[in-house]
Amino acid sequence: MKLVTIIGARPQFIKAEPFSRMFRKENEEVLVHTGQHYDANMSDVFFEELGLPKPDYHLEVGSGSHGLQTGRMLEKIEEIILKELPDGLLVYGDTNSTLAGALAASKLHIPVFHVEAGLRSYNKLMPEEQNRIVTDHLSDLLLCPTQTAVDNLEKEGITAGVFNTGDIMYDAVQRNIEISKNRYSDGAWLDELRDEGGTIPSLKEKEYYLATIHRAENTDDDTKLREIFSAFEKMDKPVLIPLHPRTRKRIDELNIQLNNVTIIKPAGYLLMLYLTANAFMVVTDSGGLQKEAFFLKTPCTTLRDQTEWVETLENGWNSLSPIDVKTILRTVSRELLCVQHPQPRLFGDGNAAEHICQILLKGGE
Ligand code: UD1
């Protein structure tokens, strides 16, 4: 089988590795990097650490408005499909790269395979929600990470070609957590967090919050972004933040004061796993990190009104917090009863990549 696979943003590099490794054993994969994420610490580091194969095409679309970014990708992906004539095109998740890939292939009558299909926040203002809805409705095989995702698709009348494969990010965490621990234990993680002046932040294992903020709904709303950093200032433990470039820019523009926080550049995957496993709690608006926290048994507070990963809310492993200082502080200081409960297996058996390969090779039968 010959596939064209589209990737372009951080979480897609993580999801792509387990599948690529499995699929390439006996099949041909043409890997296309759209260039949506282009900074070395947003892109290259993931290829190096995970051993993801070098892309066959790099589209270098870079940043821009949604229309511009997606349009540039669409044009270039169409050319690649016409040249490569694959048996199908595979996309991951919900980014503009996902949408462009699905649309380009669908118009050329090339089957579309969507990994991480069926997720919904039911907030159509989110660019990710728009991307998911369109991609799912254009897809021929819908590879869902959870039963909730399968049920969501059924509500929209999509039942053909739908499979619950388990979550491919769970494969990735299982494969990499030991490598991460070997690399970063015994204080090596602190060395990695040294600032430009050589100072190591005074953080102790399980005594810091690990926070990430990058969603447009938070970064592009001045009030919300100020409330978030005000809450960080008042938290009972220091807050470590690997900072997304978009958020960095907004903080500077709004001249937000940074107290009780340690800012570091975006972290690679292995360091991020270590920081997550050893945090007292994760505080985030990311989708992937909510799950990684759950897999690594670290409680999480999600700075959003909805989550696509409703399973993580069970027993309070994850808790949603609307964006105001009081609610955030109340949510992070909730009683953590979750740690007394065994976690149910809601994200599959850690072999999602293998299940996906088998489904594709059987043509969804
Ligand atoms: C994108 C996805 C989001 C995903 C996230 C993972 C969409 C609509 N959003 O959001 O779902 O959770 O990736 O990180 O596809 N920038 C840089 N260097 C980079 C990349 C981005 O400086 O390497 C800056 C640029 O100013 C850019 C901004 O970040 O305009 C936003 O980047 P973009 O890729 O459009 O969206 P993300 O916020 O990263």
* 44-89 pLDDT per residue, tens: 999 999 999 999 999 999 999 999 999 999 999 999 999 999 999 9
CA gap 346, 138 in Å, rounded = 26
Cα distance between residue 195 and residue 201, in whole Å: 8
Judge if the beta carbon of residue 266 lies within 6 A of ligand 1. Answer: no
The phi-psi region of residue 201 (left if phi > 0; otherwise alpha if psi is between -120 and 50; otherwise beta) is beta
Q: d(Cα 270, Cα 313) in Å, to the nearest integer?
A: 25
Who's near 197: CB < 8 A, 6+ residues apart? none
What confidence score (pLDDT) does residue 295 get?
96
- The full length of the chain comes to 365
Backbone φ, ψ for residue 344 (5° rounding)? -70, 155
- 2-167+348-361 and 175-340 share one fold: yes
Structure tokens at 8: 């372009």
Give me the phi and psi of 209, to 5 degrees please.
Answer: -90, 135
User: For position 264, what pLDDT does the model report?
Assistant: 93
- Ligand 1 centroid – CA 48 distance (Å): 20
Ligand 1 test: best mutation among 74, 214, 219, most atoms within 8 Å of CB?
Answer: 214
**Residue-wise pLDDT tens digits, 311-362:** 999 889 999 999 999 999 999 999 999 888 888 889 999 999 999 999 999 9
Of the candidates 134, 183, 167, the one whose C-alpha atom is nearest the C-alpha of residue 347 is 167
Q: Say which residues have a Cβ less than 8 Å from residue 186's Cβ, sequence separation at least 6.
A: none
- pLDDT attached to residue 259: 95
- Burial of 30-67, coded b for 16+ CB within 10 Å and e otherwise, reads bbbbbbbbbeebbbebbbebbebeebebbbebeeeeee
- Contact present, 208 and 280 (Cβ < 8 Å): yes
**pLDDT score recorded for residue 143:** 98
CB atoms inside a 10 Å sphere around CB 336? 14
Domain boundaries, the chain: 2-167+348-361, 175-340
| C-alpha–C-alpha distance, residues 61 and 80, integer Å | 15
SS3 content of the chain, % helix, strand, coil (to 5): 45, 15, 40
pLDDT of 98:
98
Catalytic center residues? 214
Q: What is the C-alpha to C-alpha distance for residues 54 and 33, in angstroms, rounded to an integer?
A: 9
Determine the CATH number of domain 2-167+348-361: 3.40.50.2000
Distance from residue 79's CA to the centre of ligand 1 (Å): 24
Q: Is the CB of 281 within 6 Å of ligand 1? A: no
Does an H or E element contain 277, and which?
helix 269-277
Specify the pLDDT at position 194: 86
**Closest-lying ligand 1 atom to the alpha carbon of residue 36:** 34
Q: Is 53 in the pocket of ligand 1 (CB under 6 A)?
A: no
CB 59 within 8 A of CB 96: no
Q: 238, 205 in Cβ contact below 8 A?
A: no
How far apart (Å, rounded) are the C-alpha atoms in residues 252 and 232?
17
Closest of 42, 18, 17, 20 to residue 29, by C-alpha? 20
* Residue 9 Cβ contacting ligand 1 at under 6 Å: yes
Distance 135 CA to ligand 1 centre (A): 19
The answer to whether the beta carbons of residues 86 and 92 sit under 8 Å apart is no
Q: Give the pLDDT score at 340.
A: 87
284 beta partners: 212, 302
What is the third-level CATH fold of 175-340? Rossmann fold (3.40.50)
Beta-bridged to residue 318, according to DSSP, are 300
Walking along the chain (365 residues) 10 residues at a time, the average pLDDT comes out as 98 98 97 98 96 97 98 98 98 98 98 98 95 98 98 98 98 96 94 84 95 96 98 97 96 96 94 98 97 97 96 94 97 93 90 98 89
What is residue 16's three-state secondary structure?
helix
Looking at residue 280, its pLDDT comes to 98
Q: Which of 264, 212, 260 is nearest to 237 (CA)?
A: 260
Find the 155 Cα to ligand 1 centroid distance in Å.
Answer: 30
Cα distance between residue 116 and residue 119, in whole Å? 7
